[in-house]
């Protein structure tokens, strides 16, 4: 007999999906756990292990706009983005549907497609608000003295998220865009904002300091209101 899930079950294809209610419940769990362990913060890995039934809810990467998710809505962490299915990868900047789960086809074959991207401000992204030139994944240097490098020093590869985003460009599909912001009240902390749907308009490549870098032009769809951040 399968064990019952501890977390609530939300259907993110339904207009009744209550994103804020789910976030509030998660925040309550987080605070109780912090007090129980008598620590100031909880490691991301600990949350994923302890609250996996709540975090997953059977929800995998989702294509398109998510009912209940509002433009300009803010999130405290990547875990919260994962929780409401806004971005289902805790570290990678590109979330995508693999070909086996994708509804999209090219030349009669199902192909992977991107569903969301996170602008971290740590790569060679060019962010002009309604237009973004997004730098692909991979090719970054190794850690030096425990500091993570964000400079692309090796050729990027057209696999995984990069390939999915290229397929989305070829098909003229759109992705959710999430931006990472520095918290002005806490020097070392960040927050994330959901900024709507952007069309993947163009895929191109260029050389930066000798390394091959994949770039993607994203254009914000109309009638979504002004950007808040």
- 201-206 — which CB contacts under 8 Å span 24+ positions? 201/169, 201/172, 202/169, 203/165, 203/166, 203/169, 203/170
Cα 148 to chain centroid, rounded: 19
Q: Give the pLDDT confidence of 48-79 residue by residue, as tens digits.
A: 556 555 555 555 788 988 878 889 988 888 88
- As a whole-number percent, the residues of the chain with pLDDT over 90 amount to 41
Q: Give the pLDDT confidence of 86-126 residue by residue, as tens digits.
A: 998 888 899 999 999 899 999 999 999 999 999 988 778 99
CATH number attached to the domain at 19-220? 2.30.280.10
Q: Where are the alpha helices (DSSP H) in 144-224?
A: 160-171
Q: Where are the domains of the chain?
A: 19-220
Instruction: Please state whether the predicted TM-score (pTM) of the whole model is above 0.85.
Output: no
Q: Could you tell me which residues come within 8 angstroms of residue 222 by beta carbon, excluding any fewer than 6 positions away?
A: none
Q: What is the DSSP letter of 27?
A: H
């Amino acid at each position: 007999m399968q064990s019952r899930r501890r977390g609530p079950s939300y259907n993110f294809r339904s207009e009744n999906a209550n994103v804020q209610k789910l976030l509030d419940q998660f925040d309550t769990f987080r605070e109780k756990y912090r007090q129980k362990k008598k620590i100031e913060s909880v490691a991301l890995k600990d949350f994923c292990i302890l609250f996996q039934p709540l975090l997953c809810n059977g929800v995998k990467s989702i294509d398109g706009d998510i009912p209940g998710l509002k433009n300009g809505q803010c999130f405290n962490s990547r875990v919260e983005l994962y929780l409401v299915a806004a971005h289902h990868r805790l570290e990678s900047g590109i979330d995508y549907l693999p070909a086996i789960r994708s509804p999209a086809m090219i030349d009669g074959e199902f192909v992977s497609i991107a569903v969301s991207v996170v602008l971290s401000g740590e790569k060679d992204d060019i962010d002009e608000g309604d237009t973004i030139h997004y730098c692909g994944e991979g090719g970054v240097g190794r850690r030096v003295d425990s500091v993570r490098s964000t400079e692309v020093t090796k050729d990027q590869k057209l696999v995984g998220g990069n390939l999915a985003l290229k397929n989305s460009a070829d098909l003229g599909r759109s992705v959710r865009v999430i931006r990472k912001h520095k918290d002005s009240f806490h020097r070392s902390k960040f927050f994330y904002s959901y900024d709507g749907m952007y069309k993947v308009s163009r895929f191109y490549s260029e050389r930066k300091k000798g390394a091959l870098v994949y770039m993607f032009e994203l254009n914000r769809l109309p009638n979504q209101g002004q950007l808040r951040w």
